[in-house]
Amino acid sequence: MARKGLPKKYARMGFKRGWAAYKRAQRKPARERTARRKTTKKRRYNMARRKKYYRRARYGGGKYKPMIDGLLAGAIERFAGQYIPVPGAVKLGVGIFRNNQTLTTLGALQLVNSFMGGNGNGGGGVR
């Protein structure tokens, strides 16, 4: 059974130098290597390219989305405020529809204050 590792002759040279010398000694002469290379062609396999995924925004607006949402909520509340007597319902609706957590929170806060009879500071009627 063959021993693992470097033979003693090369091990005395140190790890890096010993392995380099051992590999050099095991190689076939240059003439044999070039002759073999011409007869047998090594086949190359190309790896498949990875598909690139681009992240797109779910809803329109980009970095101006919060401003657009605020404008929408203000405009709808201004025009539909006379038909919807509950304050905060429009903000809540726009916040849910446009996936804006700030508007959703503000709308829910206004709704709670209107139903609980709060003093407008978000305390929910606690004095």
Specify if 25 maps to a domain: no
Q: Establish if 111 belongs to a structural domain.
A: yes
- The mean pLDDT value for 57-85 works out to 82
Q: Is residue 28 part of a domain?
A: no
108 located within any domain: yes
Written as six digits, the tokens of 27 are 């190689």
Domain holding 98, by residue range, is: 62-116
CA distance 127 to 123: 8
1 to each of 4, 8, 10, 22, how far by Cα in Å? 9, 17, 20, 19
> What's the Cα-to-Cα distance from 89 to each of 27, 96, 109, 116, rounded to whole Å?
82, 11, 10, 15
Residue 91: how many CB atoms within 10 A of its CB? 27
Two tokens at 96? 């849910």
Q: Which of 59, 62, 125, 71 is nearest to 103 (CA)?
A: 71
Across the range 21-50, mean pLDDT stands at: 72
Q: How many domains does the chain have?
A: 1
The model's pTM: 0.45
User: Is residue 31 assigned to a domain?
Assistant: no
The answer to whether the beta carbons of residues 106 and 91 sit under 8 Å apart is: yes
Could you tell me what percent of the chain has a pLDDT over 90? Answer: 6
Is 49 among the domain residues? no
The answer as to whether 55 is a domain residue is no
pLDDT tens column, 5-19: 888 888 888 888 888
Q: Could you tell me if residue 89 is inside a domain?
A: yes
pLDDT of residue 98: 87
